[in-house]
Structure 1
Amino acid sequence: MQTAKESRSDTVERKKQKRPIVDCDIHHFTGLNLIKPYMPREYRELVETYGTAMPGSMHFNGGVGGRMVDSFPPEGGPAGSSLAYMQKHLLDPYNIKYGILTGESLGVQATINFDYAAAYCSAVNEYTYEHWLANDKRLKGSVLIPKQDPTSAAKEIDRIGSRPEFVQVLVHNGAMLPYGNRYYYPIYEACVRHNLPLTIHVGGEGAGMNSAATGAGHVTHYIESRAARPQVMMAHLASFIFEGVFERFPTLKVVLQEAGVFWIVPYLWRLDQDWKSLRVQTPWVRKKPSEYFRDHVRVTTQPIEATPNREVFDQMMEHIYAKDTMMFCSDYPHWDFDSPQLALPRLDDELADRVFYQNAAELYGFPSIGSAREEESE
């Protein structure tokens, strides 16, 4: 993959590329001072006096505060805080037809104060709606929920899930329990009611009330934390399948975001093999795990693993069913941002259309890529 400096050196001046793109992970800034006006008075007063009272980060990050050096608006302010600069820096030059905002507030899902978490999530959602989604129709929102309290989470999904500007429900990878546990069923019931996929974004592993980042406990360095993310996602994926979530909620879709990609291939092989030997223990699992994955799960590209050669890359793409399951995301404006022009080797046109646009369009209900191209040619 490219470095932050290489990825953005001439983007603003680059001619707009032709292929329309759905970018499934754009982090707009949702800091406390911005969302505070949307919080109830009692919490506004508390945070003004004591701060956010959120679990802090345990590790150093990369880039400049975890962001690309050139992603900070020239007028000042945090990276991802200026819609105008994001339009100039990302949306326009890369022909982002739709961009899904994921914010910077997932840490709230690790706090033990459930009522505060619910108020905080509602404030983030309202701020996002008013200041971002209402001002650029290309942008779509994620419903941030207090997932540690599924009843409150379902209420928040019901409150705004019918707004067409919101296209998914967003949770951290870090959690108290694997996501297939019945504890979370109220969330999935609400997702199904509003036809919203559930996206699991990396982060929060080992923070606050969440379980440790690895089965062996906590880790020391950020690079260890990044390396451990797939194992947490593995636990969630197996839990969804073997707890029977996809049988109970046959229309539910789940997105695995920013935990890598190709580790899934041998993991599905293992799940299929173990299921054949142990299926008597979970008779409600009627299909091979790999079939549930293909039908119900989508995975985003960032950060995709660099393979030893193109032959291995093509094999991995085939075995992860990329034509059906893979969706592009840039992770803008984080330090490990992936440019649509540099993130993947050259793909044939059919596969590129699926990965960069059509798979996401089908999941989120956007116009087909043919319609998007026709609209641009008018």
Structure 2
Amino acid sequence: MISEEKSVVIEREIGEIIKPHPIHPKGKELEVIDSDFHFQPDWDTLRKYMKEPFQSKFLRYPQVASEYAPDQAIGLQGTGQNVQGQAKTAADVLRILDDNFTDLVILSPGFQRPQSMFNEPIITAVASAYNDYLVHEVFPASDRIKGLIMINQRDPAAGAAEIRRLAHHPSFVGVYSEFGGTYEPIGSAKYDPIYDALAEFDLPLSIHVGTFWQQWSPLSIGSRTWVELLGVSSAGTCMAFMASMIMQGLFDKYPKQKVLVQEGGYWWLPDLMYRMDELYLDHPGDIQFVERKLESGEKFLKKLPSDYILEHFRFSTQPMCKPKNNKHFAYLLELCHAEQLFLYSSDWPHATFDPLNWVVETDFIPEDMQKKILSGNAREFYNRL
């Protein structure tokens, strides 16, 4: 038992937790691409782009199946997750990019868990309105701003239709989806219409942390704190979504498909790769019964599970949870193939906002690797940049 005198107590003045470190000046010397920056227009702005009957009936953002926000955990009531502020317009985005020495940004929808709206047609309507707002009012402002096509992933036909409607626009560099504990992993074959559309336009898919804290998620039953909900449930759900893609033959059917994992973590990668390889080699007999393998007549995966991770997946870096021991940090970066797999992200405007400092201040990350993490890997992943 830890004595009262030796117990660790962290005290912060309200507001300190959201104050970012001064941005390292080396950021001005290197190209920086932010692969996860949350853009959230006002609801009344989006409503202008919604079709009827949604425009006149939905006077505020529709409630979703989980409404728990981190206000209490952060200590700033009323902020939700926008503790750094809210980027509502292209001008807001450009100002923040300049402040953070960022050259180019790939916007993620800043809405609260869009795939968790109970009514699927509403998801489709919100997604289309958000995409149209980008096309008409955001992309024309600057070539520094790129976006992801928001889709209704729970309706594969609607998701595919939205991709085909907008994929011709060069400022859309990928497609946005979510991993959450209350909806089916997007790796299963029922979502092939979405992957057919992605393949037509050679677009990568992002899977961003979504609903994971509500009571219907098995990983969240019994949770009481934001750390449990965000820190534990999201990683477990992320691994489940990745496993569904790999083990159900997604990349054998769509060998060019690339996937960016956003806010799911990555320090668990070595264990996941070793564990999946070991279990697959011992238990490969049921692979032939998944839908894609029944369709193709193949009995096994074409590669080891770890090979699919290295070839098809990339990971946004936020939150960068640095070990206190720099030797351990260096080992983890190597074990996780960071030089190849990591794309820098700030996750603005969340409390865990990561400036680029950790990349350029770490003496065992050579400059070539810094360049790859800050921009090179993003340019390789997104073929439209």
Asked if 1:47 is matched to 2:65, the reply is: no
CA distance 1:51–1:200, shift in 2 (3 Å)? closer
Residue 178 of structure 1 is matched in structure 2 by 185
Q: Distance in 1 between matches of 2:38 and 2:322?
A: 24
Residue identity in the other structure for 2:149: V
Residue identity in the other structure for 1:329: S
Residue 332 of structure 2 is matched in structure 1 by 316
Deviating more after overlay: 244-253 vs 336-345:
336-345
Residue identity in the other structure for 2:33: V
Q: Distance in 2 between matches of 1:278 and 1:133?
A: 49
* Per-residue Cα deviation, 1:223-265 (whole angstroms, up to 9, x for no partner): 1111211000010111111100000110111111112221112
- Unaligned runs of 5+ residues in structure 2 are 1-15, 288-298
| Residue 276 of structure 1, aligned match among 271, 277, 281 | 281
Residue 76 of structure 1 is matched in structure 2 by none
Asked if 1:228 is matched to 2:244, the reply is: no
- Give the CA deviation at 1:16: 6.1
Residue identity in the other structure for 1:86: V
CA distance 1:201–1:46, shift in 2 (3 Å)? same
Residue identity in the other structure for 2:369: L
Residue 256 of structure 2 is matched in structure 1 by 251
Q: Distance in 2 between matches of 1:67 and 1:113?
A: 24
Aligned ranges 1:11-26 → 2 under 5 Å: 17-26=28-37
Residue 31 of structure 1 is matched in structure 2 by 42
Checking the alignment, whether the CA contact within 8 Å between 1:35 and 1:124 is kept in structure 2 is yes
CA distance 1:349–1:275, shift in 2 (3 Å)? same
Asked if 1:332 is matched to 2:348, the reply is: yes
CA distance 1:358–1:23, shift in 2 (3 Å)? same
SS in 2 for 1:180: coil
Aligned ranges 1:331-370 → 2 under 5 Å: 331-342=347-358, 345-346=362-363, 347-365=365-383
Q: Distance in 2 between matches of 1:15 and 1:289?
A: 38
SS in 2 for 1:101: strand
Checking the alignment, whether the CA contact within 8 Å between 1:169 and 1:196 is kept in structure 2 is yes
Checking the alignment, whether the CA contact within 8 Å between 2:70 and 2:81 is kept in structure 1 is no
Residue 287 of structure 1 is matched in structure 2 by 303
Aligned residue pairs total: 351
What RMSD in Å do the two structures reach over aligned CA positions? 2.4
Asked if 1:194 is matched to 2:211, the reply is: no
Report the identity percentage. Answer: 26
Q: Please report the TM-score for the alignment, with normalisation by the length of structure 2.
A: 0.84
Asked if 1:159 is matched to 2:162, the reply is: no
- Give the CA deviation at 1:5: 4.2
- Unaligned runs of 5+ residues in structure 1 are 73-78, 368-378
Deviating more after overlay: 111-120 vs 221-230:
111-120
- Give the CA deviation at 1:152: 0.3
* Per-residue Cα deviation, 1:105-146 (whole angstroms, up to 9, x for no partner): 252311232222211110011112222221121110111101
Deviating more after overlay: 231-240 vs 303-312:
303-312
- Give the CA deviation at 1:97: 2.4
Q: Distance in 2 between matches of 1:168 and 1:353?
A: 22
CA distance 1:104–1:280, shift in 2 (3 Å)? same
Q: Distance in 1 between matches of 2:373 and 2:144?
A: 18
